[in-house]
Every structure is written in C-alpha cells, then in structure tokens.
Structure 1
Amino acid sequence: MGAIYLIRHGQASFGAADYDVLSEQGTVQSTAVGAELRRRGARIAEARCGSLLRQRATAAAALAELGGDLSAKEDPRWNEYDHLDVLAQHGTPVRQRDPREFQAALDAALRAWTKAGTGSPCVESWPAFGSRVRAAVTELAAALGKGEQAVVFTSGGVIAALAADLLGGGAESFLFLNRVTANAGITKLVAGQSGLSLLSFNEHAHFESTSLLSYR
C-alpha cells in the first residue's frame, strides 16, 4: 500500500509586506518536519511542492534534513487558493495585523466563496480549486509503485480540501479543517486498490512540547 504525506508549509510572514516568505520560525518548523519524517523512517520515492515561495522553501529545508538527494518537483496545482482574491470578491480586504480579525474575515469570505460555486467572480472558483487539487493527488497516487511513498509540500487549504473530499464532508468540512491546520503539520493518505483514504490529519505532535506550534 502506497502512502502520500501532505505537509503544510512552515510559518510564513504574516503581517509583513510579503506574506510568501518563510519566517525564521517557519524555517525551523520546516527542518523539524523533515527530522520527523526521518524519525518515522519514511522512504520517499516522489516529492512535490507548489510553486509558491513558502512551499518551495519548506520543501528544500525538510528534504535537506531528511537526507538523500531527492528534490521536490514543482507543480502549481498544489498552490493555495488566492486568499486575497477571495477576500476582495467575497468579503472585505483586511490588513494582516490582527490574526483573529483576519481569520474571522477570511472565514466569512471563504464561506461565501464556497456557496457561490461556479458563479464566483474570483479567478478560481471553489469547484475549480477542488478539481485541480484532486487531479494533482490522483496523478501522484497513480505514479507510485507498490509500497512507495511520496511527500507533498503544500498549503492548509489544499490539505483541508482533500481531507474534506475524502471524508465526504464537502464545503462545511473544508471550512472547519482549513481553520485548524498547523504550520508544518503532517497529513497522511494511503493509496490502495479501493483508491485514496485519509489515514491521519494535521499531525503536529513533533511541535506540541515546544514553542514551534503555530497556525497562522
């Protein structure tokens, strides 16, 4: 049975001019998740990441810690939804200063975005977002040989959408799961004869005894 580890990127630069840059803590988290995969004895045959800087930087730091000469292949299908576009079209753009205020505004905009379906004025609708991430994970699963493992460095919304889809929970489940994804958390999928299954979601025990646990 094959397995796919979905890793959320390390903490980005919330409140800075460029959110897409890993913070100092995010770099430490990225190295720590690589160490956690090594501790588990993960034997990675394929590695992927989105094209966003925070995803690529997380991949580089984690894979360096994991060891070997594997590098992540970039695939923009693993990119996050455009939260600024969602806020602009379905909410009120807010300054990234107060995490709670920002999260409340984002939650409301995401709810409106998912309800709008294909009628959303956003560049990418909720159905289109779901379709592209499902296509990416399906293609990756098909590329794995018997018992092989893959790792993907992506974002919380992508992981939440895939987990909600595999649980059959739809948009409501996505909204809840998206809110609680931890930076550099680990979600594990298994690929068998019956297709993909969600084995674990948002594991972050490798941070719980430290000050590294963060969500924004």
Structure 2
Amino acid sequence: MAELLVIRHGQASFGAENYDVLSDLGRAQARAAGEWLRSMDWAPDRVVTGTLNRQIDTATEMGFAPPPDTHAGLNEYDFADLLDARFKGDIPDLVKGDRKVHFRTLRETVFAWQRDEIENPYETWAQFTARVEAARAFAVDTDAKRVLVVSSGGVIGQMVSESLRAPAQHMMNLNLQIKNAAMTRFMFSGSLFSLNEFNATPHYATPAGAKLMSYS
C-alpha cells in the first residue's frame, strides 16, 4: 500500500486585500509540519499542489526536494464568488468583517450550493466534486509510495467525505474542523483508497507548537 498525505495550506491572510498569501504564522506552520515529518524519517517521493499561491508556498516552506506537480482540481472553492451569487452582489458588511458571522455564513452558503439553490455560481457543486476526484486520481496515478499533496479545507473535506461515502453535507462539517497545516492520510493501491488519519497535528503537540495552531 502507498500513502497519500494531504496537508492543508498554512494560514493565509484573512481580511487582507489579497487572501492568497501565507501569513508569517502560516509559513511557520508549514515549516513545523515539514520538520516533524523529517523527524519521523518521512519524505515524499512525489509532491502535488493546487495552483494557488498559499498551497505552492506551503509546499516550499515544508522544504522537501521533489519539485511539485500542480493540479487545479486541488484549489479551494471560491467562497467570495458563491457569496456574491447568493447575495446578488450585496454582501452584508458583517459577513465580510466578523469572523463568527463569516464562517456561519460560509456553512449556510455551501449547504445551499450543494442543494443547487444558488443561481449562476462560478462552478456547480457537481463540477467541484468532479474536479476534486480528478485531482485525487491524478495524485495516486503514480508508482510513488509516499505522495504529499498540499490543498485546502474544502477539497480535503470532500476527499474524506467521498472516501467514507458520506452525505454531501458531511463535507462541510469536516471542512470547518480542519486546522492549518493539518495532516490527513489515505492509503491506496490500485482501485483501493481509504482514510487512515484525519486532521492530525503532531507538530503542534508541544507548548511551543500549540501556539502555532489556527483554523483560518
């Protein structure tokens, strides 16, 4: 059996004009994840990321040698676009600026998206799930025994949910739990693909490491 280790990117820049930039904390999180894996004598034979800067930069900060392949199917869903479609371009100020309201609205919006209740989204729920599956298939189409993937919370939640054959809503319940730079591990061989570990953060399991933990 081979391993697919999927890492969520480090903390990005919530509230900034350009969200797709790792914060200083996000870079530290990525370095901590890479250092812990090396301490366990774990190094990837293949690295795959999405095409977002925060994903590519997380892989770089982790410090592994194999140059990364990229697959756009690993990119996060565009919540800003979904919000714009849901609220017809008039997004409430609290949704933009208040973290608690933001994430409650995120959950409600994704559930509506899954039910096809949002008119003219940039991509449908079916298109999102299809591209995530295509990215997963790309990552495991290899002779490598250890594959490192850097992606985002929604994609990881969908991979886990699909591997468990869970209802669509379960994706979002998982998505909101996933910590920055957390590790989710799958085992694969041929057509076999199964969840081994979800949302693990052993690199935060010290007093110093605990200060690195974040969810967004």
Q: Same fold (TM over 0.5)?
A: yes
- 1:127 equivalent to 2:123? Answer no
For 2:12 and 2:141, the matched residues in 1 are separated by: 31
In the alignment, is the contact (CA less than 8 A) between 1:144 and 1:150 conserved in 2?
A: no
2:81 aligns with one of 79, 85, 105: 85
Deviations 1:40-97 (A, max 9, x none): 22231110111111011101001x2x4xx31212221111101111111235635543
Aligned to 2:36: 36
CA shift for structure 1 position 183: 0.3
Offset at residue 98 of structure 1 (A): 2.1
1:149 corresponds to which of 141, 146, 149: 146
Q: 2 CA distance for matches of 1:202 and 1:110?
A: 20
Contact 1:14 1:97 in 2 (8 A): no
CA distance, structure 2, for counterparts of residue 37 and residue 43 of structure 1: 7
Deviations 1:97-145 (A, max 9, x none): 321111011111111001118x751121111111111111112212134
What SS class does the counterpart of residue 197 from structure 2 fall into? Answer: strand
2:136 is aligned to 137
Give the gaps of 5 or more residues in structure 2: none
> Residue 49 of structure 1 contacts residue 72 of structure 1 at CA under 8 Å; is this kept in 2?
yes
Structure 2 matches for 1:157-168, cutoff 5 A? 157-168=154-165
Closer, same or farther: CA 144–87 of 1 in aligned 2, 3 Å: farther
The one of 71, 76, 80 aligned to 1:75: 71
Quote the Cα distance in structure 2 between the aligned partners of 1:205 and 1:120.
Answer: 42
Cα distance in 1 between the residues matched to 2:166 and 2:71: 26
1:93 and 1:11 map into 2 onto residues whose CA distance is: 24
Give the TM-score, by structure 2 length.
0.91
Q: Which amino acid aligns with 2:132?
A: V
Q: Is the 8 A contact 2:139 2:149 kept in 1?
A: no
Unaligned runs of 5+ in 1: none
Identify the residue that residue 214 of structure 2 maps to in structure 1. Answer: 214
1-side partners of 2:46 and 2:91: how far apart? 38
Q: How many residue pairs were aligned?
A: 209
The match for 1:58 is 58
When structure 1 is superposed on structure 2, of 34-43 and 16-25 the one drifting more is: 34-43
Identity of aligned residues (%): 32
Change (3 A) 1:15 1:38: same
Q: Does the residue aligned with 1:170 lie in a helix, a strand or coil?
A: coil
* 1:178 aligned partner, one-letter code: N
Aligned to 1:173: 170
Pair 1:193–1:55, CA change in 2 (3 A): closer
